[in-house]
Structure 1
Amino acid sequence: MFRGGTPISLDNKGRLAVPAKYREGLVSLCAGHLIITADPSRCLLIYPQPAWEPIEQKLNSLSSFNPQTRSLQRLLVGNASDVEMDSSGRILVPPPLREFAGLSKEVVLVGQGAKFELWDDEKWNLQIENALAFKDGIPVELDGFSL
């Protein structure tokens, strides 16, 4: 389970150091083999390979005759890149994906259970502000939900 947000700096080559608290788990779970892809929210999704494979299979099994489904397949599968953690626990974020997400030097790696989201620091802070404002109201699914 990946939880919490960690501020990270991308180096000049576009690499990020995976936080130490996740490295050992990622090595045992997937030998450091990760998939990075685009998300409709303009962040990046980072999956351990075993978690990504069923998602990719399900996406590819959907009908490509539906334009919305086809667009989602193009976005998620068409932008998926295989990356490997190096011996220092770094991964290279491919330049086209860095550009897609508008990543600057300062980014935030956010644990989301079985995956991570990678956000530009400023965009992440805006997401938090929007969440706090309940700009779009509270989703129906959260009626009766309590923390």
Structure 2
Amino acid sequence: MSNFLGSHAINMDAKGRIAIPARVREDLASLCEGRIVLTAHTEERCLLVYPEPKWREILPKIEALPSFNKAARRAQRLLIGHATPLELDSAGRVLVPPTLREYAGLEKKLLLIGQGSKLELWSEDRWTAWLDDAEGDGEMPPEMESLSL
């Protein structure tokens, strides 16, 4: 599976279309022929961008979460309920649905952030606020204690 790295400043037009940067578009073209799934992030007010094959891989795992667990049910509702299959047009653009634009507070200036096998789409203002908020990080998980950068 391709690794999506880096951050890309992009703009959304008045109709809600975004142009995927060329480097990311090339990866998406080879990985999934430009077919993606856009959905709500469960913890942050941003969107997740999955190549379609990766989404098909994780969807059964989301569906298998226990429906009587409140947190799991919330995750299912957000991830599956907002999941929108999209295909890049010939210019490498996609139309972000109004419900997802509203959820993530997307306006003109956006950031597309690589997250390995997926991407995140943030409003520039929310991304900057997130970067400035060091208080909300919580405790370091044990897996990170042995990580050396």
Could you tell me the TM-score, scaled by structure 2's length? 0.91
Q: Which deviates more from structure 2 when the two are superposed, residues 92-101 or residues 66-75?
A: 66-75
- Cα deviations by residue, 1:56-85 (Å, 9 ceiling, x for unpaired): 111112221222211110110011001110
Give the match for residue 125 of structure 1: 128
Whole-angstrom CA distance in 2 between matches of 1:92 and 1:79: 14
Instruction: Tell me which amino acid in the other structure corresponds to 1:32.
Output: G
RMSD after superposition: 1.6
3-state SS, counterpart of residue 81 of structure 2: coil
Give the match for residue 18 of structure 2: 16
Give the match for residue 64 of structure 1: 67
Give the match for residue 87 of structure 1: 90
**Is 1:43 matched with 2:43?**
no
Alpha-carbon offset, residue 134 of structure 1: 7.7
Q: Percent identity?
A: 48
Whole-angstrom CA distance in 2 between matches of 1:135 and 1:33: 33
- Cα deviations by residue, 1:88-141 (Å, 9 ceiling, x for unpaired): 00011111000000011000000100100000001111222235x785354443
Could you tell me the TM-score, scaled by structure 1's length? 0.92
Which runs of 5 or more residues in structure 2 are unaligned? none
3-state SS, counterpart of residue 67 of structure 2: coil
